Amino acid sequence: MKKLLLFSILCFCIGLITAQTNTKEITVYGSVFNTNKEAVPDWNISIAGNSAVGAVSAKTNADGTYKAIVKVPVDPIQKMSVSTTDPCSRIPLTQGFSTDVLRTQHDFIICATNPPPPPNPCRVAFKFEQTKNSQIITFYAFPELKDAEYFWDFGDGNTGTGNPARHEYKKAGDYKVQLRVKSPTCEGSYGSGITVDMTTAPPPPPPPATSIEARCCGAIQILSTPLSTNVGPNTFKFFAKGDFPLEGVRWDFGDGNFGSGAEVTHTYKTEGKYRVTAYLVGTDCKVELSAWVHAGRTNSNPCNFDFFYKTDGLIAGFGLNIRVVPEKINWNFGDGSSSNELNPTHVYAAAGEYKVTVEVIINGQYCKIEKTIKVADNGPSNRCPFDFSFISRGLETRFSPIVSTTKYDKLEWHFGDGTTSSEEFPSHTYAKEGSYQVTLVVYYGRASCKITKDIKISSLTSGGGASIIDVSPNPVDDNMSIKIKSSDKISGVLVITDVTGQNLKKKAVEFEPGENFVPWESTDLKTGLYFLQLYIGTEVVSKFRFTKS
């Protein structure tokens, strides 16, 4: 009996020794930092495997580092994971490793938010429209969220649900509308003020005697209020008109505020440059127009300038003695002709006296100057109210006439290498580098005049222009920042297209020499691949590919 007991004890010890020799220790270590490059102390780390290993916990030290010892079987090799939480995400950050190692390092970077925001908030907003001849407002929440619930507070003591949501207000006025959204993955809210217009049904128009072709054209005008008023130096009056009957006009003043009506007044609270957009709506037409307003620059009188002119027979040249370029300019030459050029040249049909008017907008303020000029007919010679410009890219050069409002019959280009063209905007490729004398001849009936310039052609294509350097973040989310490098002060247009080449959005920009950063909202882009194109004039000078997450 004693022998049997001794034999059992011996077998148990051998088994225990064998079990101990079939395990090993793995050192798991690493660090936790936030997006501000700061060490995160006292942060929980979890190391997990199958049921045979279980889970091991660790915490970071004051310097953001951690270390844990995990005992695992030698065989078989299995997969394990190291994970931690991120205050800006519901999904843990996880890294894996195999048990065929003795040491393994796992570092984590988490969101630097203190206190942390609610996990994964819904980014939502809404737009609205008023039903014609009623005070019914339809609200549309965007973006569309899968399996989401929409709760509305219409600001007049009534609530509603759904997307879209309709509500009839009892009276016109301003209301603060709140939207709350809840989905299986996120929650969010958004609030905005709206204006409900008082509407009455107009009498039906008489039937037209003849058919009328709808023309969808419109215009907006922005005038600063006189300095003698008490409404503030950054108060502007906005006017909209169309060549079709207007049913409604809505304004986006570019500072987060909105208005409605063909004539509105708005005061900007902070200095800046704002893009104002007007939405003109008619029965068969919808027109969107935009313009820039400069607020907060009223320390001096921007209208303290004059215009000068010079006549040569029936030809008159005009200019402004002004240090800044106006946002808008319009010349009226007094004979029914006009121009929006900065320094125009005009040919009058007959001698006489003409009242010339120039209207400009400088830093958002409207200015107007009138003068009476006298022109005399000194014969048909020296009638050359034009110039031309050119852009060279290597040996290829594109030419453009700069002609006044006077209508000409034809023109003729001489490129200086024995070739000519009668195209209005020709493109010419020279055979070699060198200097060439280019002449443009413009014909006015039987009279003609010409201008000659010396240009230098080089095969080098580097030099002036602008180029898209980067789009960040990429993939973009609700907003993106475009980095553009420019050699000079250049105006251009950014266009976003889809993979089929369809234009989706465009944005006019003005670049300064060096690096420029252009912010652009991208909430209306769906998930997918897009192309960003930079136009200088009518030419695409740079492209960049990005994705929307």
Instruction: Select from 356, 375, 394 the last residue of a domain.
Output: 375
Same domain, 413 and 357: no
The whole-number pLDDT of residue 3 equals: 52
Q: Is the pLDDT of residue 143 over 50?
A: yes
The whole-number pLDDT of residue 206 equals: 47
State how many domains the chain has. Answer: 6
Q: Is the pLDDT of residue 508 over 70?
A: yes
Helix (H, G, I), strand (E, B) or coil at 159: strand
Instruction: Select from 457, 491, 506 the last residue of a domain.
Output: 457
- The two tokens of residue 517 are 């950063």
Q: Which of 113-117, 167-171, 200-204 has the lowest mean pLDDT?
A: 200-204
Domain carrying residue 34: 19-110
**What's 40's domain CATH number?**
2.60.40.1120
User: Residue 234 region, left (φ>0) first, then alpha (ψ -120 to 50), else beta?
Assistant: alpha
Q: Is 205 a member of any domain?
A: no
Stretch 247-275: mean pLDDT, rounded? 87
Stretch 475-483: mean pLDDT, rounded? 85
* Residues 281, 247 contacting (CB under 8 angstroms): yes
Q: Which of 239-253, 307-321, 393-407, 500-514 has the lowest mean pLDDT?
A: 393-407
Band of residue 224 on the pLDDT scale cut at 50, 70, 90: low
The whole-number pLDDT of residue 213 equals: 45
* Structure-model confidence comparison of residues 321 and 143, the more confident one: 143
* Structure-model confidence comparison of residues 326 and 79, the more confident one: 79
* Structure-model confidence comparison of residues 407 and 439, the more confident one: 439
Same domain, 541 and 508: yes
The whole-number pLDDT of residue 11 equals: 47
Q: Is 6 a member of any domain?
A: no
Stretch 361-383: mean pLDDT, rounded? 74
Q: In sequence order, which residues have a C-beta less than 8 Å from that of residue 158 and are 6 or more positions away?
A: 167
Q: Is 206 a member of any domain?
A: no
Round the average pLDDT of the chain to a whole number and report it.
80
The whole-number pLDDT of residue 214 equals: 46
Q: Which of 234-243, 294-303, 388-397 has the lowest mean pLDDT?
A: 294-303
Same domain, 397 and 437: yes
Same domain, 34 and 106: yes
Q: Is 203 a member of any domain?
A: no
Q: Is the pLDDT of residue 549 over 80?
A: no
Band of residue 59 on the pLDDT scale cut at 50, 70, 90: very high
Q: Is 93 a member of any domain?
A: yes
The whole-number pLDDT of residue 117 equals: 47
* Structure-model confidence comparison of residues 352 and 460, the more confident one: 352
The whole-number pLDDT of residue 302 equals: 63
Same domain, 405 and 364: no
The whole-number pLDDT of residue 447 equals: 63
Q: Is the pLDDT of residue 81 over 80?
A: yes
Element at 3 (helix H, strand E): helix 2-21
Same domain, 155 and 178: yes
Instruction: Select from 429, 457, 485 the last residue of a domain.
Output: 457
- Written as one string, the DSSP assignment of 420-484 is EE--SS-EEE-SS-EEEEEEEEEEETTEEEEEEEEEEE-S---SS-EEEEEEESSSB-SEEEEEE
Q: Is the pLDDT of residue 31 over 50?
A: yes
Same domain, 186 and 225: no
The whole-number pLDDT of residue 108 equals: 92
Band of residue 165 on the pLDDT scale cut at 50, 70, 90: very high
| Residue pLDDT, tens place only, 9-27 | 544 544 444 444 588 899 9
Same domain, 102 and 130: no
Stretch 269-295: mean pLDDT, rounded? 84
Band of residue 529 on the pLDDT scale cut at 50, 70, 90: confident
- Written as one string, the DSSP assignment of 94-134 is EEEEETT-SEEE--EEE---SSPPPSS----EEEEEEPTTS
Same domain, 168 and 239: no
Band of residue 308 on the pLDDT scale cut at 50, 70, 90: confident
Band of residue 380 on the pLDDT scale cut at 50, 70, 90: very low
* 401 residue type, one letter: P
* 434 residue type, one letter: G
Q: Is the pLDDT of residue 411 over 90?
A: no
Evaluate if pTM is beyond 0.85.
no
The whole-number pLDDT of residue 22 equals: 84
The whole-number pLDDT of residue 209 equals: 38
Same domain, 392 and 433: yes
**What's 137's domain CATH number?**
2.60.40.10
Q: Is 120 a member of any domain?
A: no
Q: Is the pLDDT of residue 65 over 80?
A: yes
* Structure-model confidence comparison of residues 214 and 96, the more confident one: 96
Q: Is 4 a member of any domain?
A: no
Q: Is 380 a member of any domain?
A: no
Stretch 149-170: mean pLDDT, rounded? 91
Stretch 409-438: mean pLDDT, rounded? 88
Q: Which of 202-206, 280-284, 419-423, 439-443 has the lowest mean pLDDT?
A: 202-206
The whole-number pLDDT of residue 42 equals: 92
| Cα separations in angstroms, 242 against 28, 222, 279 | 72, 15, 11
The whole-number pLDDT of residue 227 equals: 43
Beta-bridge partner residues of 90: none
Q: Which of 293-297, 357-361, 469-473 has the lowest mean pLDDT?
A: 293-297
Same domain, 316 and 334: yes
Q: Is the pLDDT of residue 356 over 90?
A: yes
Same domain, 106 and 137: no
The whole-number pLDDT of residue 208 equals: 40
